[in-house]
Amino acid sequence: MRRQTHTTFCCWVLVLWFLSAAAAAATVTVTAPQGQTEDLYCFTDDLTPYNKFSTKTAYSLARGEFTHDDLVPKGCEARQAWHLVRHGTRYPSEDDIAAFLLVLPDLQADVLVAHQEGLGELCEGDVKLLAGWSLGGINITWDSILTPEGHRELESLSARYQEAIPNLLRQPFTNDSFKFRHTARQRTAESARAYANGLFGHDVYIPAPLDPDPLLKFYEVCDKYVTEVDDNPEADRENQLFQDGPEMTSVVASVSRRLGVGLEFGEVEVLYDACRFYKAWDPTAASPWCVAFTPDDLKVLEYWKDLHYYYIEGYGYNVDYEMACRPLQDLLQHFSTVVAGEEGPNGIFYFTLYCSPHGMDTYETLCIVMARLGLYKDASPPSHDHIDPNRVWRTSEHGSFATNIAFTLSFCSQEDEWWVSAAVSEKVVVLGGCASPLGCTWEEFITTYGNLLQCDFDAICQNTDSGTPTSSDSVTWSTWAFNQLKIISDWVESVFSSHTN
């Protein structure tokens, strides 16, 4: 499942060349609007454009803004914070950048020529916006790295969390009082640093990442998930059926008409990624390639993505969410320690991934954890033959860049009671087993989720080697053992470093 850099790039070039040739012979017939301009959608005239782009939605367009009262009951005091955070806005993958470089400049020129010839359905404002677009210096070396907007997202997120529970998070950093951990990706490492800067105003000690990480990338060491989901072409069947169905066919025809150029599905997919990536990089500006789509087109594409994430990394298979017991076990262990009267860090901050397209070299964590908590589960599973506009599984709303799950443990001295609250992307969520919509008493919380303390990960995953990396991970036992020794080494280093911080 690992990315083969040069081979993949060459394959992309050949595939997209083929698509370009196919587009030239496409059966879509593009004609002039014939006087129906006033009925056509003009993106640049839309004061409230549709900005729900599944997992490529800008965080500022999806987040809430929690307050102290949302997280801590009146008269209580926050005692520990546990925060699982997706990386901030990133640049596209190497493959997507290659597609941008190959497709977008030529298509921009073709659309402008088509408009001059009276073809297409773009208004003058849309044409002007698209004419002013440029690649902006993007190149292959930017492969999936964190953007400046991603840095801002994480800095401001931690600053708002600190503002909500200042007694806990407005404290000087020591290795004992704050715990950071991230996966072995540049975008998660930089997100962790940006988050720390938002809290403390400077870099802090963060242990070197494990690769694979059995806590934050548990799916990489789960044999059953690899077999039943990752390597199973049927796992993404609903997404594929929808892609081949009438709604998506209609989107390809709609985009071709709007631009005045006959397109194939693969090219429309590149345009969709350009629309949503450029919007995420600068959420305050209009994204030029979004002119290609009507709001209805974008809603269809959003649902297409939702189908994938639901079945591959949501509720599609039991193992999808059952294997997420590891990070939640970590949450319960940390909170239980504090409830038992022992010392623990003020904050535990983990930086990982969300969800990714099937077949890439990473899968991601947050949507699986949300499913394990029972969040965003519809009464009926989504289907390729019906788009439910009222569905609760909406990755645009709970899966944007910088999506995060924040748990806060508080103590209420008057009631002699512990309290747990949870928020997703700064919006309070209702947990199962809680009498209050704002959270759970500790008794409610442990009754509902306490079984996760006995997380038998290897049994869930039917692992044959006790949760160590499988052959599909391309990691040897010696590498695994080295990583475990590194945890001990980092801990020893943190003990000595804490005396100087």
Q: Using the 8-state DSSP alphabet, how is residue 200 labeled?
A: H
In a domain, 60, yes or no: yes
Worst-scoring range by mean pLDDT, 19-33, 167-181, 247-261, 459-473? 19-33
Q: What is the pLDDT of residue 364?
A: 66
The Cα 495–Cα 330 span in angstroms is 21
Q: What is the pLDDT of residue 230?
A: 87
Q: What is the pLDDT of residue 454?
A: 92
In a domain, 5, yes or no: no
* Cα R_g (the chain), whole angstroms: 24
Closest by CA to 220, choosing from 2, 453, 455, is: 2
The Cα 165–Cα 169 span in angstroms is 6
Angle at 450 between CA 448 and CA 456, to 5 degrees: 120
In a domain, 180, yes or no: yes
In a domain, 284, yes or no: no
In a domain, 359, yes or no: yes
Share of the chain above pLDDT 90, in %: 80
CATH code for the domain in which residue 347 is found = 3.40.50.1240
Q: What is the pLDDT of residue 472?
A: 30
Residue 39: pLDDT band with limits 50, 70, 90: confident
Per-residue pLDDT tens digits for 347-402? 999 999 875 443 333 346 899 999 999 999 999 999 999 999 999 999 999 999 99
The Cα 74–Cα 68 span in angstroms is 9
3-state secondary structure labels for all residues of 170-198: CCCCCCCCEEEEECCCHHHHHHHHHHHHH
Per-residue pLDDT tens digits for 130-171? 999 999 999 999 999 999 999 999 999 999 999 999 999 999
Q: pTM here?
A: 0.85
Do 410 and 419 touch, CB atoms closer than 8 A? yes
The Cα 375–Cα 373 span in angstroms is 6
Neighbours of 463 (CB within 10 A): 16
In a domain, 37, yes or no: no
Per-residue pLDDT tens digits for 273-298? 999 999 999 999 999 999 999 999 99
Q: What is the pLDDT of residue 496?
A: 40
Asked whether the predicted pLDDT for residue 493 surpasses 60, the reply is no
Q: Which residues of 88-117 are buried (b: 16+ CB within 10 A; e: fewer)?
A: bbbbbbbbbbbbbbbbbeebbebbbebbee
The Cα 362–Cα 352 span in angstroms is 11
Q: What is the pLDDT of residue 313?
A: 87
Average pLDDT over residues 260-269: 98
Average pLDDT over residues 194-223: 95
In a domain, 473, yes or no: yes
Domain range for residue 442?
A: 50-92+146-243+317-498
Average pLDDT over residues 218-244: 93
DSSP character string of 297-351: HHHHHHHHHHHHHHHHHTSSSHHHHHTTHHHHHHHHHHHHHHHTT----SEEEEE
In a domain, 387, yes or no: yes
Per-residue pLDDT tens digits for 424-477? 999 999 999 999 999 999 999 999 999 999 999 999 999 987 544 433 333 333
Do 145 and 187 touch, CB atoms closer than 8 A? yes
Q: Using the 8-state DSSP alphabet, how is residue 436 labeled?
A: B
What φ, ψ does residue 186 adopt, rounded to 5°? -60, -40
Q: What is the pLDDT of residue 180?
A: 98
Domain total for the chain? 1
Alpha carbons within 13 angstroms on the beta-carbon side of residue 35 total: 0
Q: What is the pLDDT of residue 355?
A: 55
- In whole numbers, what is the pLDDT of the chain averaged over residues? 87
Asked whether the predicted pLDDT for residue 24 surpasses 50, the reply is no
